[in-house]
A and B are shown apart, each in its own frame.
Chain A
Amino acid sequence: MNLMGLLRGLWAAFLSMFEMLRGLWTTFRSMFETPVTYQYPEVKRPVRERFKGRHVLKRYDNGLERCIGCALCAAACPADAIFVEAAENTDEERYSPGERYARTYEINLMRCIFCGYCEDACPTEAIVLEHQYELSFTSRRDAIYTKELLIVPVPEGGKPTPQNVPVGMFNRAIPEMKDPA
């Protein structure tokens, strides 16, 4: 038998023993590191700024709804999750600064894939995917979010919709965008 080969094998065995001890040391050391776990329901990890969670419908500062009921979001939606039914605004009962507003606005969150195409399609930046991600339902009915659930509260200094506005104050079909970037 080749003595050198035997010695080399023994040396390799010795080295691998050392490597095994190094592995054991690595796992032992990591026991004393701070765990990476978030204790979820109590501690929530903040999401990224551009995270796409549940949709909200925005308002202007004066309380009018941004949505003008154009249903471009519904047209853009690849999952066919959005249903919009528009109705005419009047100066006595004004919901949005445009010609029309969304009388019914429903998103089926079971169909929604959170792609954000509705956000891109919206001409008035009315629909935005915000940071709410805790979406669980106990029935299919509950998964359909209506306008009342989606719309944000009236901001400070604004008036709730429908508003009674002076005649001729809003005469555009689509409100002017301040920053059409």
Chain B
Amino acid sequence: MSWALLLEWVIKSAVIIMIILGGFAYLTLFERRVLARMQTRIGPNRAGPWGLLQPVADGIKLIFNEELIPEQADRVLFILAPVITVVPALIILAVIPLGPEVTLFGRRYVFGLASNINVGVLYILAVASIAVYGIVIAGWASGNKYALMGGVRSTAQMVSYELALALAFVGPIMLAGSMSVDAIIEGQTHLWYVILQPLGFLIFLIAAVAEINRAPFDMPEAEQELVAGYHAEYSGMKFALFFMAEYGKMIAVSFIAATMFLGGYLGPFLDRWPLLGPIYLFIKVVALLFFLVWLRATFPRFRYDQLMAFGWKILLPLGLLNVVITGVIIVLVGG
């Protein structure tokens, strides 16, 4: 029994990590194709049919790139920083259920690793915060003042928007009356929280886009204006890890948004065919990823002072207001 359980968990963990890794590879292609179409271009379509082998080609290229470590760099921290950045992106999906419980050969299986723990939402926030360390350490360890400034800038941005992100989570938590992700999904059986929490969803989306450093909040990279931020000195696979972290976080944030506000794996006919659950979740996640790419194709970048002012003076008060309104309505209606 115990080794069977162990095997089950190992398989689940592998699947979750593969979702991020495989998703990362093909998200880059998806983004490039969608961006190209929005700019009335075609995008990469040469490597393999429809460019499907492009991520493989990119990966091979990055593996064979020279790995430079600057002389002034702190070698241990320099190597550690991309690892610290990428690991949270890989493990954050552990509390997201990918589908409903199924009974197979007399055993009950859950799609998901630990979706039933009672602090699931706290886990998401805690793990998401760790990525900030990777970025500030990367900037520091590079031994380059520009990388350090980039790291500080990114850190300030991520810390600011994390507050709004956490406040956006409070709405669903209050409505479900639990911090367990399973309970939050069960609470959306009849009505998705995006309808009950439109302001919360909006705050979550904006804060999440800023948290994962995506356009129009991609100050840390700002490829048209700066060389790069904290990863200016990184090359080869270490750079690829930062890249992977960014896209992995995109996927993770889409999973979280789909779960907290769009009903997760819920959808019609789920009782009859439980395997539809992962498909529904996949569709929602792809729609959200498309939305993230769409935002990048549309909006110009924020100025840095606007970014901080927006985060602290608008988003944070709005988040608090949303919590207060939600609380009052729950008390009045009776939850």
Beyond the given A23-B298, A35-B42, A36-B41, could you list 15 further A-B residue pairs with CB under 8 A, ordered by the A residue number? A20-B298, A20-B299, A27-B38, A27-B294, A30-B37, A30-B38, A30-B40, A31-B34, A31-B37, A33-B40, A34-B40, A35-B37, A35-B41, A36-B40, A37-B41
CB contacts between A and B, total, < 8 Å:
33
- CB-CB under 8 A from A30, the residues of chain B are 37-40
Q: Distance (Å) between the CB of A59 and the closest chain B CB?
A: 40
Interface residues of A in 18-38 (CB under 8 A from B): 20, 23-24, 26-28, 30-31, 33-37
Give bound CA distance, A36 to B37, whole Å.
Answer: 10
How far apart are the CA atoms of A31 and B37 in the complex, in Å?
A: 5
Q: What are the interface flags for B21-59 relative to A under an 8 Å C-beta threshold, 1 for contact and 0 otherwise?
A: 000000000000010111111100000000000000000
> A23-B299, A24-B294, A24-B298 in contact; A31/B38 too (CB < 8 A)?
yes
In terms of DSSP, what is the predominant structure of the interface of chain B?
helix
Q: How far is the CA of A36 from the CA of B38 in the complex (A)?
A: 11
- A: residues with CB less than 8 A from B are 20, 23-24, 26-28, 30-31, 33-37, 39
A37 to B221, CA, bound (A): 28
- Bound Cα distance from A24 to B294, whole angstroms: 7
Complex Cα distance, B43 from A39, in Å, reads 11
Shortest Cβ gap from B321 to chain A (Å): 13
Cα of A48 to Cα of B244 in the assembled complex, Å: 45
In the complex, A39→B34 CA distance in Å? 18
Question: A20 to B302, alpha carbons, bound, how many Å?
Answer: 14
Q: Does B275 contact A (CB under 8 A)?
A: no
Alpha-carbon gap, A20 to B36, bound state (A): 20
Cα(A27)–Cα(B42), bound, Å: 15
Query: Is there a chain A Cβ closer than 8 Å to B240's Cβ?
Result: no
* Cβ-defined partner of A35 (8 Å) among B34, B40, B294, B299: B40
* Chain A residues with CB under 8 A of B294: 24, 27-28
Of residues 286 through 329 on chain B, the ones whose CB sits less than 8 Å from some CB of chain A are: 294-295, 297-299
Instruction: Kindly report which residue of chain B lies nearest to residue A23, judged by CB atoms.
Output: B298
Least Cβ–Cβ distance between B64 and chain A, in angstroms? 22
* Interchain Cβ contacts under 8 Å between A and B, 11 examples: A24-B295, A26-B298, A27-B38, A27-B294, A27-B297, A28-B38, A30-B37, A31-B34, A35-B37, A35-B40, A36-B41
Residues of A within 8 A of B34 (CB): 31
Nearest neighbor of A29 in chain B, beta-carbon distance: B38
Q: Nearest CB to that of A24 among chain B residues?
A: B298
C-alpha gap A33/B38 in the complex (Å): 9
Contact of A27 with B41 in the complex, beta carbons under 8 Å: no
Residues of A within 8 A of B297 (CB): 27
- Contact present for B40 and A27 (CB under 8 Å): no
Alpha-carbon separation in the docked complex, A34 to B42 (Å): 9
> How far does the alpha carbon of A93 sit from the alpha carbon of B119 in the complex, in Å?
98
- Give the residues from 188 to 240 in chain B that come closer than 8 angstroms, CB to CB, to chain A: none
Interchain CA distance A23-B38 in the complex, whole Å:
12
The minimal Cβ–Cβ distance linking A67 to chain B, given in whole angstroms, is 42
What's the minimum C-beta distance from A31 to chain B, rounded to whole angstroms? Answer: 5
Whole-angstrom distance from the CB of A18 to the nearest CB of chain B?
14
Residue of B nearest to A17 (CB): B202
- Say how far B79's CB is from chain A's closest CB, in angstroms: 39
Closest Cβ of chain B to A74, distance in Å, is 42
Which residue of B is nearest A39, CB measured?
B42
Kindly state the separation between the CA atoms of A36 and B297 in the bound complex, as whole angstroms: 17
